[in-house]
Structure 1
Amino acid sequence: MTDFRPMRRKRQQLSAEACAEILQRNTAGTLALLGDEGYPYAVPLSYVYVEDGDGTGRLIFHSARSGHKIDAILREPKASFCVIDQDAIAPEEYTTYFRSVIAFGHMRVIDDETEKRTAIELLARRYAPEATPEREAEEIEKDWRILTMLEMQIEHLSGKEAIELVHARQE
């Protein structure tokens, strides 16, 4: 297990529960991987957050079968995923009222067909909650052959918000 760096501005640190709420509430973030020739590779992705009963969680993504992202994951599975929950510019104060979360963990390609099906169904329900089961199945089948599902098992969550938001909550 990695020793993750402690947050420097502890008063602005979000609780594990607040971090999980942000991951549940939002629908997109940026996955950061070790790309070609050691360059960082950050790619915006849709996701679904799944809380496991033991206080841990994982992120589910879909992908094409090949490309920069898959190559990077196969070369080095360590990754981070950042979600910006709020970024309100306060020009009169020369600041932003921000809130964000970064998840750190290991990526893997989901190979098991049953697990892959469960993962895409979770993603489908997240983005099309009103779809009928028949419509959902139709859409999944349409791209099943070329679909790759990815999972990040979260090892560490870190969340931070602007000090102004901390003060507003304490008032």
Structure 2
Amino acid sequence: MQAATHPHGVMRRSDREITDRAEIDAILRSEKVMRIALVDGDTPFLVPVFFSYDGTALYFHSARSGSKIDIIKRNNKVCFEVSTGHGVIESQMACDFEARHKTVIGVGHIERVRDEAEKKRALDAIVARFTEQHFEYPEENFRATAVLRIDIDSLKGKKHGFA
């Protein structure tokens, strides 16, 4: 998961690249929403999802059917993005405004979680991002929910506007 192996090559603005893996992990752990980009033939499909991160993989949940699941069955490759610290860096010149942000972009492949213990751990981790309450999942809901794991192939981090 080295930045140099990212399929989009070397970052043009290396002064903005986040090379510290702990800082990249902190961004992935700090946010609740991740955007995933899938490809269906020659048509892109982008969707935000609630997620969790365990240090090696990302997890999200979904209904067991629908556009996202249909696309993943045909092509399980994914690009994902998580960002934080959004803002604007103003300037006296119109074309010199810039975005303040910390962003992680990665690529990987999606696998459906079939092991019930892993599925429950992933759901618990997603729920824990929103509340300290612990829940038991009704069996019917548990069966109706798909949990998907993104096995990360590579990551890149970028920031701007932070000291």
Distance 2:124 2:138 in 1: 8
> Could you tell me which residue of structure 2 aligns to residue 158 of structure 1?
156
Distance 1:144 1:156 in 2: 31
Quote the RMSD (CA, aligned, Å).
2.0
Distance 2:99 2:35 in 1: 20
Any stretches of 5+ residues in structure 2 without a counterpart? none
> Could you tell me which residue of structure 1 aligns to residue 128 of structure 2?
125
CA contact (8 A) 2:5 2:154 kept: no
Distance 1:118 1:90 in 2: 40
> Could you tell me which residue of structure 2 aligns to residue 109 of structure 1?
112
CA contact (8 A) 1:98 1:161 kept: yes
Question: Higher helix share goes to which structure?
Answer: 1
> Could you tell me which residue of structure 2 aligns to residue 28 of structure 1?
33
**Offset of residue 70 of structure 1:** 0.7
> Could you tell me which residue of structure 1 aligns to residue 17 of structure 2?
13
**1:38-117 residue pairs with structure 2 within 5 A?**
38-51=42-55, 57-92=56-91, 93-117=96-120
Identity score, percent: 29
Question: Higher strand share goes to which structure?
Answer: 2
**Offset of residue 112 of structure 1:** 2.0
Once the two structures are superposed, what CA deviation does each residue of 1:72-94 show, in whole Å capped at 9, x if it has no partner? Answer: 11111110110111221133352
Instruction: Report the CA distance shift for 1:71/1:96 in structure 2 as closer, same or farther (over 3 A).
Output: same
Once the two structures are superposed, what CA deviation does each residue of 1:113-165 show, in whole Å capped at 9, x if it has no partner? Answer: 22222221222223222x1x4xx01x454621211000001111101112x43
Any stretches of 5+ residues in structure 1 without a counterpart? 52-56
Q: How many residues of Structure 1 are paired with residues of Structure 2 in the alignment?
A: 154
